[in-house]
Amino acid sequence: MNFPIQHTPAEAAFLTAGALLATEGRRREAFERFMAMGLPHRRLEDWRWTDLRQRISGAYPPVLDRAPPAVGKAELERSPFFAQIRGRVVLVDGVYAPELSTLPASGAIEIRGIVDASDAVLGRTAAPDSDPIIAMNTAFMAGGIAIRIAPATTVEAPFEILSIVTAAEPRTLASRIVILVEQGASASIVETHLGAEGASYVNNPVTEVILGPEARLDRVKLQRDGKEAIHLSNLQARLDRNAILRDCTVTMGGSTTRQQGFIAFDGENADAKLTGAYLLRGKQHCDTRLIVDHRVPRCTSREIFKCVLDEEARGIFQGKVIVQRGAQKTDGKQSSHGLLLSPAAEFDAKPELEIYADDVVCGHGATAGDLEEDFVFYLRSRGISLAEARALLVSAFAAEAFEDIPHDGLRDTLAELAKSWVHRGRAE
């Protein structure tokens, strides 16, 4: 196949890597799709704020089948959930590391590594394969993990999928997580992404979630990639009837983050709530793109994003709710809020509704503003210092995104992370 267009150095490196891939199969197909599209750029409406041709400026050859370096226990302790979550599945540079994992497979939980894109568990979700982030991941997958929660079982305690990127050189790390929650089952999963501080790399994790009838998944994704990292992630989820998805993404790391979510309702009375918090400063940039597809009647979707932006950080929220013909009684609402701690910070929101049914309740709202002076004064009048008052209020602002997490401890940890983010301050 020919790729006649002018390639950026990053694209050229991807092209070179592609020569090593098998000549057929899902991986090859994805690679060809990815190269035909190239890296997305600002002339594409969905990417107008996040031009990857510019942002991925050098070569980041993908890690395809390198044995990941050994990682010590101290690395695991970098997870803020280390002390509070006992069950843990660890991925090192995208590859499942059973020797570091502490989540035993049981009757309720089945775990196994994914080696590459030929795994049959892949591709059951409904997201467009034409998406560049997903195509990139399928083509260059270093590994991953598949987790299945058996029908009618409840995994009470949350467990963590800890993904650590060790890259010290500019590389692309693509990993895949597939979570299958069978009929009537429920689980609570924290997905933590940690990277090498100061290293420049592209982290490209894709998570697929399949919820059977009456299934429930509570997912928290914490992104703490290194300051120089580019984070390109995607969540694809499909929900069968009466299924419940509670998804909370917290973005703190990376220089550039593009996170996407494609949520599809396959069965009636399903309910998805997607919340997110950004805690960004410096020139950090996070662009969230969500598409919620109401294909069947009587489903509910909620999106709430709380974006804290300091210095010259930029936060973007693009949410689209699609209500297909016949998807009556759809209830879909989205809201996004920017808290701008500096005059140079910027928040952009692009809510979209695409409605082809007439009996629906849909809405959206967006706000941006500074910390309320009155709130600060009230707290200070009770003896709380200015710094602590600001930390409390920033944490409280972000906390709306954590509200539905069914474990007090996880909520508290995230609130503390937000507070310490404020205290850490601007100077780096």
Partner 1 sequence: MLKIENLHATVDGRSILNGVDLEVNSGEVHAIMGPNGSGKSTLSYVLAGRKGYEVTEGSVAYRGEDLLTLEPNERAARGLFLAFQYPIEIPGVVTMQFLKVALNAQRKARGEPELSTPDFMRLVRDRAAKLRIDLDMLKRSVNVGFSGGEKKRAEILQMAVLEPSLCILDETDSGLDIDALRIVADGVNALRSPDRAMVVITHYQRLLQYIVPDRVHVLSRGRIVRSGDKSLALELEEKGYASFERDAA
Task: For residue 380, state whether it binds partner 1 (rule: CB under 8 A).
Answer: yes
Contact by Cβ (8 Å): 319, 334: yes
- Residue 23, class by beta-carbon neighbours within 10 Å (0-12 exposed, 13-18 middle, 19+ buried)? exposed
> For residue 220, what are the CA distances in angstroms to 157, 283, 402?
13, 25, 9
Contact by Cβ (8 Å): 328, 362: no
- Beta carbon of residue 411, minimum distance to partner 1 (angstroms, whole number): 11
Among 48, 153, 183, 375, contact with partner 1 (rule: CB under 8 A): 375
Helix (H, G, I), strand (E, B) or coil at 124: coil
Question: Between 164 and 248, whose beta carbon lies closer to partner 1?
Answer: 248
Return the DSSP state at 213. Answer: T
Task: For residue 373, state whether it binds partner 1 (rule: CB under 8 A).
Answer: yes
Task: For residue 397, state whether it binds partner 1 (rule: CB under 8 A).
Answer: yes
Residue range at the interface with partner 1 (CB under 8 A); choices 103-111, 175-183, 239-247, 393-401:
393-401
111: alpha, beta or left, given left = phi > 0 and alpha = psi -120 to 50?
A: beta
Task: For residue 396, state whether it binds partner 1 (rule: CB under 8 A).
Answer: yes
Task: For residue 395, state whether it binds partner 1 (rule: CB under 8 A).
Answer: yes
Nearest by Cα to 257 from 291, 282, 232: 232
Nearest by Cα to 158 from 239, 78, 219, 110: 219
Build a one-symbol-per-residue string for 400-419: x at contacts with partner 1 by CB under 8 A, - elsewhere.
Answer: x-------------------
Question: Between 217 and 307, whose beta carbon lies closer to partner 1?
Answer: 307
Task: For residue 423, state whether it binds partner 1 (rule: CB under 8 A).
Answer: no
Task: For residue 374, state whether it binds partner 1 (rule: CB under 8 A).
Answer: yes
Task: For residue 341, state whether it binds partner 1 (rule: CB under 8 A).
Answer: no
Nearest by Cα to 304 from 272, 328, 281, 279: 272
Among 133, 392, 405, 410, contact with partner 1 (rule: CB under 8 A): 392
- Beta carbon of residue 383, minimum distance to partner 1 (angstroms, whole number): 4
Sign for the CA dihedral angle at 9, 316, 372, 389 comes to negative
Rounded Cα–Cα distance for residues 354 and 169 (Å): 43
Question: Between 366 and 384, whose beta carbon lies closer to partner 1?
Answer: 384
> How many CB atoms sit inside 10 A of residue 128's CB?
10
Rounded Cα–Cα distance for residues 117 and 22 (Å): 11
- Beta carbon of residue 368, minimum distance to partner 1 (angstroms, whole number): 16
Task: For residue 377, state whether it binds partner 1 (rule: CB under 8 A).
Answer: yes
Among 386, 409, 420, 425, contact with partner 1 (rule: CB under 8 A): 386
Question: Between 341 and 393, whose beta carbon lies closer to partner 1?
Answer: 393
Residue range at the interface with partner 1 (CB under 8 A); choices 109-117, 122-130, 225-233, 389-397:
389-397
Binding residues vs partner 1 (CB under 8 A) = 373-375, 377-386, 388-389, 392-393, 395-397, 399-400
